[in-house]
Structure 1
């Protein structure tokens, strides 16, 4: 964070690189626990494949 602050010459908000901060500010869509990652990805891919077939 210090390097980024020096580069942009601004003080960055507390926790700006944490996933919760990124989620709240729209930079990411969801936070998924590592243990749930495989199931979540399978679910998302299945949904996308269904949409692609119907398009």
Structure 2
């Protein structure tokens, strides 16, 4: 199953729309991009494997 996050970047935050198989799931909000600084920046773009937490 592939989840896709479409983002728009703004100085005060990152807004997104999450979709699964092209269908809307939810809106998302993250911190603005700040050179990937921990606890300050949004997650970098890329492909991630997501596993269930046991």
TM-score, scaled to structure 2: 0.21
Bigger proportion of residues as strand: 2
Structure with more contact order per residue of length (Cα contacts < 8 Å, sep ≥ 6): 2
Bigger proportion of residues as helix: 1
Return the index of the structure with the highest Cα Rg: 1
